[in-house]
Amino acid sequence: MSKLQDIVIIGGGAGGLVVASVAAQLGLKVTLIEKEPKLGGDCLHHGCVPSKTLIHAAKVASLMRRAGDYGLPAATPQVDLGLVNDHVQSVIDRIQVHDDPERFRDYGCEVIFGQATFIDSHTLRVGDDEIRGHRFVIATGSQPFVPPIEGLQEAGYLTNLNIFSMRQLPQRLVVLGGGPIGLEMAQAFSRLGSKVTVVERLAQLLPQEDSEIADSLKAVLKAEGIDIRTSTTAEKVYKQDGTTIIQCDGGLSLEADALLVAVGRRPTVDNLGLDAAGVKYDTKGIKVDRCLRTSQKHIYACGDVCGPYPFTHMAEYQAGIVISNAIFRFPKKTDYRVVPWVTYTDPELARVGLTEQQARDQGIEPLVLRFEFKDVDRALAEVETAGLVKLVTHKGKILGASILGPQGGELIHEIVLAMKTGAKIGDISATIHAYPTLSQVHRRTVNTWFGKKLFSPATRRLVKWVNRLLP
The answer on 260 and 271 residing in a single domain is no
- With respect to residue 59, please indicate whether it lies within any of the assigned structural domains: no
Residue 119 covered by a domain: yes
pLDDT computed for residue 352 by the predictor = 98
Report field, pTM of the whole predicted structure over 0.85: yes
| Same domain as 285, residue 139 | yes
pLDDT tens digits along 300-346? 999 999 999 999 999 999 999 999 999 999 999 999 999 999 999 99
Q: What is the CATH number of the domain that holds 353?
A: 3.30.390.30
- Same domain, yes or no: 259 and 279: no
Range of the domain at 164: 152-264
Residue 104 lies in a domain: yes
Q: Same domain, yes or no, for 260 and 270?
A: no
270 and 133 fall within a common domain: yes
Q: Output the pLDDT for position 2.
A: 63
Looking at residue 202, which CATH number applies to its domain?
3.50.50.60
Q: How many domains does the chain have?
A: 3
Structural contact between residues 405 and 385, judged by C-beta atoms closer than 8 angstroms: no
- Residue 58 amino acid letter: A
In a domain, 49, yes or no: no
Is 44 domain-assigned? no
Q: Do 254 and 282 sit in the same domain of this protein?
A: no
Looking at residue 1, its pLDDT comes to 41
Q: What is the pLDDT of residue 342?
A: 98
Rg (CA), the chain: 25
Do 235 and 312 fall into the same domain? no
The side-by-side arrangement of strands in the sheet containing 195-199 is 227-229, 195-199, 172-176, 258-261
Last residue of a domain, one of 264, 286, 314: 264
Is residue 56, in this structure, part of any structural domain at all? Answer: no
My answer on whether 257 and 158 are in the same domain is yes
For residue 207, say if its preceding peptide bond is cis, omega within 30 degrees of 0. Answer: no
User: Is 290 within the bounds of a domain?
Assistant: yes
Looking at the structure, tell me whether residues 307 and 375 fall in a common domain: no
In a domain, 439, yes or no: yes
pLDDT of residue 3: 74
Q: What is the model's pLDDT at position 131?
A: 96
Written in H, E and C, the secondary structure of the chain is CCEEEEEEEECCCHHHHHHHHHHHHCCCCEEEEECCCCCCHHHHHCCHHHHHHHHHHHHHHHHHHCHHHHCCCCCCCCCCHHHHHHHHHHHHHHHHHHHCHHHHHHCCEEEEECCEEEEECCEEEECCEEEEEEEEEECCCEEECCCCCECHHHHCCECCCCHHHCCCCCCEEEEECCCHHHHHHHHHHHHHCCEEEEECCCCCCCCCCCHHHHHHHHHHHHHCCCEEECCCCEEEEEEECCEEEEEEHHHCEEEECEEEECCCEEECCCCCCHHHHCCCEECCEECCCCCCECCCCCEEECHHHCCCCCCHHHHHHHHHHHHHHHHCCCCCCCCCCCCCEEECCCCEEEEEECCHHHHHHCCCCCEEEEEEHHHCHHHHHCCCCCCEEEEEEECCEEEEEEEEECCHHHHHHHHHHHHHHCCEHHHHHHCCCCCCCCCHHHHHHHHHHHHHHHCCHHHHHHHHHHHHHCC
268 to 48, 49, 159: CA distances (angstroms): 18, 20, 16
Measured CA to CA, the distance from residue 449 to residue 460 in angstroms comes to 16
CA–CA gap between residue 284 and residue 287 (Å, rounded): 8
Q: Are residues 7 and 136 in the same domain?
A: yes
- 355 and 411 both lie in a single domain: yes
| pLDDT tens digit at each of 471 positions of the chain | 467 999 999 999 999 999 999 999 999 999 999 999 999 999 999 999 999 999 999 999 999 999 999 999 999 999 999 999 999 999 999 999 999 999 999 999 999 999 999 999 999 999 999 999 999 999 999 999 999 999 999 999 999 999 999 999 999 999 999 999 999 999 999 999 999 999 999 999 999 999 999 999 999 999 999 999 999 999 999 999 999 999 999 999 999 999 999 999 999 999 999 999 999 999 999 999 999 999 999 999 999 999 999 999 999 999 999 999 999 999 999 999 999 999 999 999 999 999 999 999 999 999 999 999 999 999 999 999 999 999 999 999 999 999 999 999 999 999 999 999 999 999 999 999 999 999 999 999 999 998 887 778 888 888 888 888 876
Instruction: Write down which residue in 278, 302, 327 finishes a domain.
Output: 327
Quote the CA–CA distance of 46 and 10 in Å, as a whole number: 19
Same domain, 371 and 387: yes
